[in-house]
Structures are given as C-alpha cells and as structure tokens.
Amino acid sequence: MILKIQNLSCRRGDRLLFENLDFQIQSGELLFIEGHNGCGKTTLLKTLVTLRRPDAGVVLWDKQSIFKLADEYRQNLVWLGHYNGLKGDLTALENLRIASVLNGIDASEEALWDALKTIGLYGFEDLPTTVLSQGQKRRAALSYLLLTKAPLWILDEPFSALDVRAVDMLQAIIAGHVEQGGMVILTTHQEVPLTSGQVKRLKLAA
C-alpha cells in the first residue's frame, strides 16, 4: 500500500497555497506535515481524504487515483479533522457505536466499553458529549482509533486540547499503529517517538 502525491497544487480563493507537491508514504511510515498557520495543512489533508478536489496534480493509492477509487479508497481511511465529529446530544458510547457501524466494524458492546475505558472516559460514557470538556470530547473522538482496522490514518492536529497523559497515550497509539505496518499522516507541533518504522517530514511554505 502506497499513497503517492504527484504535482499537487491547491488554491483557496485566489491564493495559491502550495504547488507541485510530491511525496509518498507507505506501510510503516509516519508523515509529519509542518508549516505555519494558514499554509494549507488542513487543505492538503482534506484533499488526501477526498473531501476536496485538488486544483492540479494527482493523489494515487496503489497507482490508482483516489477520486476514481472513491469508496474503495475510503475503506482504508480514518479521518479526524478539526471537528470531533461527535453529536453533542448523544453519549460517547452512542457516538462510538455509530462510528463503528458507519465504518463497517462489527464491534461488540464490550469492545466499545473497553475502547472508552482505555481512552480515559470511564465514568463519562453515559453523559451527552456536549457536557464534556474539550479534551474529553477529543478523547471520545479518538476512541475510534482503538477500534478501526483501516491502515491509513489522517489526523489534523490530533493532540489539540489533550492533557499530558492523553498526549502520551495518543503518541503510543499512533506509534503502535505505525509499528504494525500502518501509515499515519498528521499535522502537529507534538513529536511522536517511534521505536521502529520511519518518520518523514514535509514542510509546507506559503
């Protein structure tokens, strides 16, 4: 499995964010995307998850365009954006259950409970997520990472709002995924230490 980006250019309105971007990432690799605010990190990630079309260039998943593969590509994908993707009126458990069904994961009730326990929401699973703190909401969104089997994780600022312990835990989860042959692309100011696997960096300059 290789995700390959060739000659990618994106505009936002009249402004050119980046052009002729080339890179690739394969199993067992972690890619940091760096750059100052407004340089197009989120736009790039949204393009990689097919939420946005590039203005020029191609994104290939195993040599086929991700926009042609469409649903077939999306099955390999986990996306966590700025929004947590949680319904405020539903509990963390209900949110996680819906996410699992939407992504075809046949998770048992115990698996869902375990995921929430591991992520540190034990005792909060029955509260509507709207009353949780920002960090707890982020944790609720991240709990899905513990259930998914998808190889390619694309995470936009996954560490935002998390406390030190949660940051450590998320680093371990990401490192574990890479070491098992997964791929992770993320934007962050927080490093993820890896014991095996490879770290790549991409600097966007606008």
For residue 75, state whether it binds another protein (rule: CB under 8 A): yes
Assess contact for 185 and 155: CB atoms under 8 A. Answer: yes
Rg of the chain's alpha carbons, rounded to an integer? Answer: 17
Out of 13, 37, 63, 83, the only residue in the binding site for another protein (CB under 8 A) is 83
Closest CA to 137 of 90, 174, 75, 102: 90
Assess contact for 204 and 44: CB atoms under 8 A. Answer: yes
Out of 13, 37, 102, 189, the only residue in the binding site for another protein (CB under 8 A) is 102
Query: Which residue, chain included where needed, has tokens 């996306």?
Result: 79
**Dist CA 193 CA 74 (whole Å):** 27
Is the CB of 36 or the CB of 87 nearer to another protein? 87
For residue 184, state whether it binds another protein (rule: CB under 8 A): no
Burial of 117 (0-12, 13-18, 19+ CB in 10 A): middle
For residue 12, state whether it binds another protein (rule: CB under 8 A): no
For residue 15, state whether it binds another protein (rule: CB under 8 A): no
For residue 98, state whether it binds another protein (rule: CB under 8 A): yes
For residue 135, state whether it binds another protein (rule: CB under 8 A): no
Out of 55, 94, 163, 179, the only residue in the binding site for another protein (CB under 8 A) is 94
Is the CB of 149 or the CB of 203 nearer to another protein? 149
Assess contact for 121 and 140: CB atoms under 8 A. Answer: yes
**Dist CA 92 CA 86 (whole Å):** 8
For residue 127, state whether it binds another protein (rule: CB under 8 A): no
For residue 89, state whether it binds another protein (rule: CB under 8 A): yes
Out of 30, 77, 96, 115, the only residue in the binding site for another protein (CB under 8 A) is 77
Question: Closest distance between another protein and the C-beta of residue 150, in Å?
Answer: 8
**Dist CA 59 CA 182 (whole Å):** 18
Contact residues: another protein, CB under 8 A: 49-53, 71, 74-75, 77, 79, 81-90, 94, 97-99, 101-104, 128
